[in-house]
Structure 1
Amino acid sequence: MAEETLIELENVTRTVILPNDETLAILHGINLTLSQGDHTAIAGRSGSGKSTLLNLLGLLDLPTDGSVRFLGNDAKRLGERARARLRGGSVGFVFQQFNLLPGRSALENVMMPLLYADGGKFWRRRSLAAAMLEQVGLADRMDSVPGLLSGGEQQRVAIARALVRRPQLILADEPTGALDVETGQNVMKLLDSVAAETGAALVAITHDLNVARLARMHFRLDNGVLTEDPTLAELADRGVRMTAFIAAVVEAWGEFKVQKARVLLSLIGVALSVAALASVVGVGDLARASMQQSQEKYSGRTATIQTYFQTMAAKMPADARQKIDELADRYGLKYVSLKGSANGSFQFINGAAQTQISIVDPAYDIIHRLKVSRGSWFAADDAQRLTPALVVNEKFYDAMGRPDLNK
């Protein structure tokens, strides 16, 4: 038996008029069909149109051109009140921020949508809300206010609130963005499980591969164009495992212009080991997904793969360098450099200074055209030998009191 089509976007375009009367196209020719039980992940960079697409799917906005049909109803033909009724009864929203009422208990927060929808008897609303909280594993926290709940528990309350009316479509906008990795994975498994039990379609808009890996359909939104992305699906199917997951890919194409800050080299007793970059496991896979369709178009330019770490790992995985080398071979990259950043402080004879510490490979200066005004750049084998070496810019050198670096 074929699943019922919930929502269908056909050749949808969304434009806005800027203050200078120019027209800005946000979405271009979007085609998407969602049916009961579908679990879809949509990935995209900031500014790619994800929020606008979510607003269209949730009947919060209307397309400039094309059609949005929800349960067979053309959204453009529905009045604002009719769309609100359809949205209230059929769509549940889960956001990165929990948006719970701070002075109300978990139970009262989950009861709110039922009150706003049709009133109903108090005990019926309470029973439905309590059952949903029990389903998300919070039976013993019903009377707790949000301030007494952990981040994961607050997100589960938000999920219960979104699902208490048994919506047919669940829209999750970066649902794990405010959570740590493990809690985020547990929340997504819960959301997927509850959606499957109710037969609802689930759409997750995310940067997080741990969120995308649970989906069964994968799309990428880039500059307002939505395409099915088999490379993203491959990453999800392979279940990329990492202690600090890759949260976003930033394509910084074009001429990379760096500040003309002169840098110095000194052998200072601070071991800035490249072992802190252990979290690059899987970077080759992610780079392939990001660069596969752009290899020829952006040939000869610079790409940055940005990662975020929850913790510094103890050592670099044995195959991390191999993955980087494979990446270079696969895409004909002339130079590849790892980079990790963290805030830290340095103690000197004459005082202390706060700064951002970047941990890089020897090729970093070539890629970014840095010039050393004194001393020399890192040697090729410094990383392997864990030789303590430091490069500082002129401003930081001044903060150090311009000491004699040879002492």
Structure 2
Amino acid sequence: MKQRRLLTGLVVAVLVGTAGACDSGGGGTGDQWSAPAPGQAAALLDFSEGGRDAALRDVAFYGFGGVTAPGGMTTGPDGSVYGLGDKAVRLKPDRTVSTVEGAAKAGTSTSGLVALPDGSLVVGGAGQVKRIAPDGTVSVLAGAAGAARTPGAPVPASVPAAGFHFAGPSPFGVGPDGTILIGDRDVLWGLKNGTLKQLYRTTGKSADGQLLQIGRDSAVDATGTAYISPEVPDRFPGRLSDLLAVRANGSLSKLQLPAAIDGMPGAPAALKVRWLTGDGANGIFAQVYDASGDNGAVLHLHSGKADVIAHEASGVESTKPCRIPRPVAALRLPCALPEAMTYRSGSLILGGLADYVLQIRVT
């Protein structure tokens, strides 16, 4: 399999330290950055050794590269993209990057990253969900440090957020009414006004009897509907056929999938889900791959349709640099798709387990 799914730790807090990416690159090849047109992809950053933005490597690598799977990716109200790897890193619209640091204030985080409309970040870890304000102030939104809840143990329909013991909180989105969506191993919570409301709970198990969990690759659309892909982390990724939509009122539905998808061989239901993100409306983008771990693609799932937005070219190797000085056709990507992705104003931004960040223009 091209990408490995590993739980990761994070140091988070106030934003400090900035490195710039000028038009002629960061001391690498000298190729200029060109934004992609609809249907095209481009290397937003190439911070590989000798790459166009190699001068940014010491910062960008820890949020968008790294050797551990990304814990989250999100877009802020100003268009900044945040990647959560070994550290949290901010990529601004002008292609400058900066590190989110300050372990003494926010502690450590295993997974989960959400940007709120006010510019603050929400992270999960050490049994708590925390908010990092734009000025660096850290506050606890939910959860208590200490003994963790055992997955599968009974939980209430709703409970005060303060003092609750999570199994492993991973915030992944925010609804239009301000509800923060949190995957907590086997439970999906909605957090609002200091109260946790149970929206869904997994009961299924894998073939070897392990309880399925809500992955950190979950998503929420503009209506507040959450999309989850139950899985056994690091062992059994979710299948596209098991993708579940959970509405804000707790009602459930399975996504309608066509019998076949143009440009994708085999049955769509059997595809493995790597990452999900909302499309800014009432659909989602899903990064998928086949049983071999190859044939990576991004699908747009909306209104019962499934359109291929991007596709890796045959023979792509994930360990090689992505040297595309100019935009290329997204349906014939010469580079492997990074694992995580987020939607930003008509484009998908992808990063994680790669020495580059891709931008794919979808509208």
TM range (shorter): under 0.3
More strand by share: 2
Larger relative contact order (Cα-Cα within 8 Å, sequence gap ≥ 6): 2
State which structure, 1 or 2, has the greater radius of gyration over its C-alpha atoms.
1
The two structures have a TM-score, normalised by structure 2, of 0.28
More helix by share: 1
